A and B are shown apart, each in its own frame.
Chain A
């Protein structure tokens, strides 16, 4: 067995599990785990947007919650204030997040390293405080609840997320589409340019790449993905709240991405899944389970800076090379 086969089998298992989860999960555990699994998928997109910036172009953003919040408020305000139907509201949320990413990115990607991390936090804080005080539109601290219109309404036929299976597969489709988009971009010439800029931006500039534009496109794509996550979360929770724009949410996404392993597509899903399952399982048993999360972050950063995906790759490679050596000996 070689590495590619093992990885392909793993991906296939994961896809199969995701497609059958609403029926398989209730057989083993309580049926609310289906909801938790959808939540994991949504949050993993936020972690993926951090990963896209940090893992592929080398920019650590501590402000991805800004775009998450924009997507979230776009949907909520669109439905509750403008009386939009489902798809226009969803598109409005994602467009708002992407537009914000274009503006914020045009300014932010001029800076690198620490300065980039700081300015992304500052941008997200500006809009966090705005959302907090702009009560007539955003609902401030209390949040903005709304009832979700049907996804499709054709004559008598109606597809609405009040049906849990419809909601689940709507989320899976959207999240899947985002991962497919990221997969395509990363394996395109643009994706190679991302990695070149991450490895050495001076050389990238010297071979004729427009470093600024490459960083900006990564930033906008990351903002788009975070916006979809926010819009999905608004639909999933039926409300929007300013608290999701705070820098602690961005920080959590960074933690998920780092523990899962940056620079791989799968890492953020694994990290997000692990930490959310940990939260659901431990928070009822041990009130201070966050201590464990903090320790896990530091241990990962010190001993496994490539995260769980890095550890996995190492094991699989060793396993694969062992088995090839065995076949050669035979």
Chain B
């Protein structure tokens, strides 16, 4: 029973981090109409940057501030240099982001090295939760993820830039006619998407391994959350991420983790076939 609780809790924590990353994927898809295969690698770059910041400054907390800013810069740069020139060819954008994914992985392997590293959690120790000793850092990571998600929704609904983003998503032509700089909004959105994945990487770095291939496992999971929650349904994405990770965690306690993964993938295909707007479609309107 202890194992079930521990894995269930791990699932929820992991789900919240995935939700943060998947939200980035979802806004990029919703606004730019791009399937970003490099999104897992944005996360990976976040973990590696967090490791680098920790190694050079000896302070992990700086990473929480610096890495998302670097991520935003990198994202904006990528959008400007790679995505904008191919804006008209939707199918080719998938191929371009695949190329991007190769470049990111290989440049990390060239600079940081191929050997995976484990990071020591900046907050040590455990405390009693639901009858088991649970790591404090994981709870802290979940809280950071929740905070970041809340800030993101506040930004999207209450600030001018967020409103512009929603406007461009709704109707780019009318938005442009109203004087909204749509092109700049695309760049900013891609930057925010990268920043969120990178922040997810910083939060997750002490929980997983820091490795240039870390993004490969994350990507399918993020897509599952985005598809099952409904493409463009941001609240649905968060709910789906937490739910999926929780259920997979529980299943892992008594069965092979791959079975859990196969089950989620089958659910995802069913959703794609029969409810392409996600399982929460209709709940928000």
Contact = CB atoms under 8 A, between A and B. Distances in A.
Nearest to A248: B216
B157 to A, nearest CB: 26
B265 A125 contact: yes
Contacts of B268: 122
Nearest to A127: B262
Interface stretch (A168-176, A215-223, A295-303): A295-303
A16 interface: no
Interface stretch (A1-9, A112-120, A203-211, A317-325): A112-120
A130 interface: yes
Contacts of A154: none
A293 B103 CA distance: 8
Contacts of A258: 92, 95
Given A290-B102, A294-B102, A114 B220 contact: no
B6 interface: no
Interface string A224-238: 000000000000000
Contacts of B100: 294, 298
B110 A288 contact: yes
B265 to A, nearest CB: 5
Which residue, of B37, B227, B272, has the highest number of chain A Cβ atoms within 10 A?
B272
Contact of B82 (A251, A288, A302): A302
Contacts of B272: 111, 115, 118-119, 122
B259 interface: yes
B92 A254 contact: no
A330 interface: no
Given A133-B258, A255-B99, A291-B103, A126 B269 contact: yes
B260 to A, nearest CB: 10
Interface in B28-64: 29, 33, 35, 37
Nearest to B110: A288
Nearest to B220: A125
A287 interface: yes
Most A CB atoms within 10 A — which of B220, B268, B269, B276?
Answer: B269
Nearest to A107: B273
A301 B262 contact: no
Contacts, number: 115
Nearest to A60: B91
B186 interface: no
A121 B223 CA distance: 10
Nearest to B268: A122
Contact of B95 (A130, A132, A255, A293): A255
Instruction: Give the interface centre of B102, B262, B269, B272 by most chain A CB atoms within 10 Å.
Output: B102
B268 to A, nearest CB: 6
Nearest to A297: B99
A291 B106 contact: yes
A194 interface: no
A290 B212 CA distance: 14
A251 B227 contact: no
Contact of B273 (A110, A255, A291): A110
A305 interface: yes
Q: What range describes how many residues of A lie at the interface? A: 35 or more
Interface in B260-278: 261-262, 265-266, 268-269, 272-273, 276
A122 B102 contact: no
The DSSP consensus for interface residues of chain B is: helix
A180 interface: no
Given A107-B273, A248-B216, A293 B102 contact: yes
Given A117-B35, A118-B223, A298 B265 contact: no
Contacts of A247: 220
B86 A301 contact: yes
A36 B133 CA distance: 56
Interface in B67-109: 82, 85-86, 89-92, 94-96, 98-103, 105-107, 109
B184 to A, nearest CB: 20
Contacts of A121: 220, 223
A296 to B, nearest CB: 8
A179 interface: no
Interface string A246-269: 011001001100100000000000
Given A117-B94, A125-B220, A133 B256 contact: yes
B261 A129 contact: yes
Contact of B90 (A114, A129, A305): A114
Contacts of B82: 298, 302
B262 to A, nearest CB: 5
A126 B94 contact: no
A118 B268 CA distance: 10
Contact of B91 (A113, A130, A296): A113
Nearest to B261: A129
A129 to B, nearest CB: 5
Given A111-B272, A118-B35, A60 B94 contact: yes
Given A114-B35, A298-B96, 11 more contacts: A62-B94, A122-B265, A122-B268, A122-B272, A126-B262, A133-B256, A133-B258, A247-B220, A295-B99, A296-B99, A305-B92
15 contacts: A54-B91, A110-B273, A114-B29, A114-B33, A114-B90, A117-B91, A125-B220, A126-B262, A247-B220, A248-B216, A287-B110, A297-B98, A301-B89, A301-B96, A302-B82
Interface of A: 54, 58, 60, 62, 107, 110-111, 113-115, 117-119, 121-123, 125-126, 129-130, 132-133, 247-248, 251, 254-255, 258, 287-288, 290-291, 293-298, 301-302, 305
The 3 closest A-B CB pairs, nearest first, are A297-B99, A294-B103, A294-B102
